[in-house]
Amino acid sequence: MHAKIFLSIVSLSIVIACSAPKSEKVLPIMGRTEYIDNDTIYHTVKDFEFINQDSTAVNQSTFDGKIYVADFFFTSCPTICPIMKTQMLRVYDAMESYDDVAILSHTIDPEYDTVALLKDFAERLGVSTPKWHFVTGDKNKIFEQGQRSYMVTAVEDKTAPGGAIHSGAFILVDKEKHIRGFYDGTLPEEVDVLIKDIALLRKEYEKK
């Protein structure tokens, strides 16, 4: 008798567990968190202003109300950049119909990567603004933005192929300018996760 009761309880527990809604994944907010006067202060991308391939100023307000993916590259890069751009094209194609998602690619070789060259580069990729901004500007400010805001490597190095070292990361930024994820832009499986996480983040805003 007791065995039958036990088995009934176990069976009921399994049914409840299987029928209970699974909690959706929530993306973390990355970076240093501070607590000031009972308020939680999250790391945010700092203010910036660069020029894109259309000779238009790009700053924080450009991405108001948008989720965006940031990265660092240069057009003459002989190593990881071509792979990264192939993978970022996947993100572009997956999110092309969503007005609330954009891409921001910073050149770390602004002397060579002029506005005209970035325009040609974008056209050869077959992409357009305002979905994908390729920006140039003061080299030191670009490096500082990479290291301090996006927490990735972006430095000049004459010994490196192409004369610079930069991270291969794709950085996911939410509408409040918080970083919500880092993904290796050279690995298709990592970019698969990024595309899924963008969709997840969009759902998070839809619920709000």
pLDDT, tens only, 161-206: 656 667 899 999 999 999 999 999 999 999 999 999 999 999 999 9
Q: How far is CA 177 from the centre of its chain?
A: 11
Return the SS3 of 53.
Answer: coil
pLDDT at residue 134 in the model? 98
- What is the total count of domains within the chain? 1
Q: Chain-wide mean pLDDT for the chain? A: 87
Task: Collect all residues with Cβ–Cβ distance below 8 Å to 145 and sequence separation of at least 6.
Answer: 45, 46, 48, 106, 154
Write out the residue range of the structural domain in which residue 196 sits: 33-201
Q: Cβ distance 73 to 154 under 8 Å?
A: no
Within-domain flag for 90: yes
Q: 151 to each of 6, 36, 118, 167, how far by Cα in Å?
A: 54, 22, 24, 10
pLDDT at residue 162 in the model? 58
Within-domain flag for 206: no
Within-domain flag for 25: no
Within-domain flag for 19: no
Within-domain flag for 179: yes
Q: Cβ distance 84 to 185 under 8 Å?
A: yes
pLDDT digits (tens, 9 = 90+) for 50-64: 999 999 999 999 999
Asked whether the predicted pLDDT for residue 14 surpasses 50, the reply is no
pLDDT at residue 60 in the model? 96
Within-domain flag for 208: no
pLDDT at residue 35 in the model? 84
Q: Cβ distance 173 to 68 under 8 Å?
A: yes
Task: Collect all residues with Cβ–Cβ distance below 8 Å to 169 and sequence separation of at least 6.
Answer: 71, 150, 152, 182, 183, 184, 185
Please classify residue 132 by burial: count the beta carbons closer than 10 Å to its beta carbon, then call 0-12 exposed, 13-18 middle and 19+ buried: buried
- At residue 22 the predicted structure's pLDDT band, cuts being 50, 70 and 90, is low
Within-domain flag for 207: no
Q: 110 to each of 42, 71, 87, 152, how far by Cα in Å?
A: 30, 15, 22, 18
pLDDT at residue 48 in the model? 97
pLDDT digits (tens, 9 = 90+) for 69-119: 999 999 998 889 999 999 999 999 999 999 999 999 999 999 999 999 999
pLDDT at residue 55 in the model? 98
pLDDT at residue 194 in the model? 98
Within-domain flag for 23: no
pLDDT at residue 15 in the model? 39
Looking at per-residue pLDDT, the higher value among 93 and 38 belongs to 93
Of 29, 31, 72, the residue nearest 185 (C-alpha): 72
pLDDT at residue 154 in the model? 73
Give the residue-averaged pLDDT of 123-139: 96
The CATH number of whichever domain residue 73 belongs to comes to: 3.40.30.10
